[in-house]
Structure 1
């Protein structure tokens, strides 16, 4: 479960403003504690999922670095639609990049407007 605290989350660093789609507090049941998160939502609507993946990974890395300097208590997630996750992100190429770049995912079902899974 997540409670949205900022929409969008503004990060200012070195005179440059960037905006992450959502900031939230996520309740982690196992620890019974709140975790501050930021979520960058991706739709992957173009014809080239690979191209959009490259852009999303680059943006994610930029935001993670900025958060580490400005809000180190906040964990960044990339939100991706479930059909894209199952059709592309589960493949060997994407899995390698996700693991090496240490990308946290939030998989969502856009039709049901529901979160399917959190992947750390």
Structure 2
């Protein structure tokens, strides 16, 4: 099992504050018959609010704290796309989100090149404040 991102528990708490029920953490998904598997940071379901009732999400949490931000974006993009592809085949009811800190969103995800990739690949974002353990923006 891979190591948790440093903000894993922060995002979990933020989702719970927002009315989500975390169903699984470090969820192992077998993606082919040869044993290839991947881990998804967490899955959650919204049962309370009318506009998101019954909605299920899978969340990949990225801190962007290692190496260069651009390198981290490459890794996060690849992981997000692979996760989304696997779930579309195996569990299509889940919508995949990339959870990132507000500071990363403000400094990196506002760059034109990154914005274009987010749009091109239809990356859904959860932007959170680590210090408050709160979600500040959902970008669908």
TM surpasses 0.5: yes
Give the 3-state SS of the residue equivalent to 1:115 in structure 2. Answer: strand
Question: Is 1:64–2:100 an aligned residue pair?
Answer: no
Out of 96, 117, 120, the position equivalent to 2:137 is 117
Aligned counterpart, 1:78: 98
Conservation of the 8 A alpha-carbon contact between 1:43 and 1:81: yes
Asked whether 1:11 is paired with 2:29, we answer yes
Which has a greater percent of strand? 1
| 2:46/2:52 contact within 8 Å kept | no
Give yes or no for contact 1:9–1:38 (8 Å, CA) kept in 2.
no
Q: Deviations over 1:10-66 (max 9, x none)?
A: 211212121110100135845252200000000000241001001100110000000
> Relative contact order (C-alpha < 8 Å, sep 6+): which is higher?
2
In the alignment of these two chains, the number of paired residues is 120
Please tell me whether residue 37 in structure 1 is matched to residue 57 in structure 2.
yes
- Give the match's secondary structure for 1:18: strand
The runs of at least 4 aligned residues of structure 1 exceeding 6 Å deviation read none
Normalised by the length of structure 2, the TM-score is 0.81
Could you say what the CA RMSD is over the residues aligned between the two structures, in angstroms?
Answer: 1.4
Aligned to 2:111: 91
Residues 62 and 76, structure 2, Cα contact 8 Å, conserved in 1: yes
